[in-house]
Copies of this chain bind each other. A is one copy, B any other.
């Protein structure tokens, strides 16, 4: 008997309908308050590229634009390479539900070679994952059951009696629950698995939704594989909350301090 499919692989599974056209289905394991967790939408679109026979290279950039709500149920994904160069390949993607565009995306793949390299960001000074308690899941966000999070700082405390925090920074150890070896699919979902910066900074519930989300992949497949199922160190902060939109800028590191991805998003909020 094959091992049971990991919930993330089930959630991002696509059935090929034609060249560059797939059908998928939302998953209860990654449900959010309205529709699926955005990270699993990004992972699904990246999977459409991974499955395409024309794929050349591994992802270095993915931009998601969440255009409208996705209802629980079936959807289609279109994935087309629009230009293939010697070392890069540019893709356009769209997710639709009943002919309506729910999300668009662009991806850049690259064939990478060893060059002079240098890390400028600093791995935060943090306790080991096992020294920190696992954060309880959020009932209103079922997808949080699919992650094991251990906060170093900046856990979300809605209705905190302490009131507004000094800043919106969160730092946490995170991995899939159940554990799963990290790859581009799980990494991009983790890049979107931060609670909204608004709720960390100002612990009052409000409607929020990511509008645009970009991830740059600094690791290649071999570096990701080397992390196995170990937790990743993730840190995020906002630079500006202003008139209905705030940004988030994030880093995701391997357990051993390799910067795997940097990720940015802009998020709608309503008061």
Contacts and interface: CB of A to CB of B under 8 A. Distances in A.
Given A120-B168, A218-B245, A90 B67 contact: yes
A266 interface: yes
Interface residues of A, number: 60
A112 B241 CA distance: 12
Given A113-B244, A243-B220, A259-B239, A118 B211 contact: no
Given A115-B244, A218-B245, 15 more contacts: A65-B108, A83-B101, A106-B212, A108-B211, A115-B242, A115-B243, A115-B270, A118-B201, A118-B241, A212-B214, A239-B251, A239-B262, A240-B262, A242-B259, A264-B264
Interface of A: 60-61, 63, 65, 67-68, 82-83, 85, 87-88, 90, 92, 94, 100-101, 104, 106, 108, 110, 112-121, 167-168, 201-202, 211-212, 214, 216, 218, 220, 237-245, 247, 249, 251, 259, 262, 264, 266, 268-271
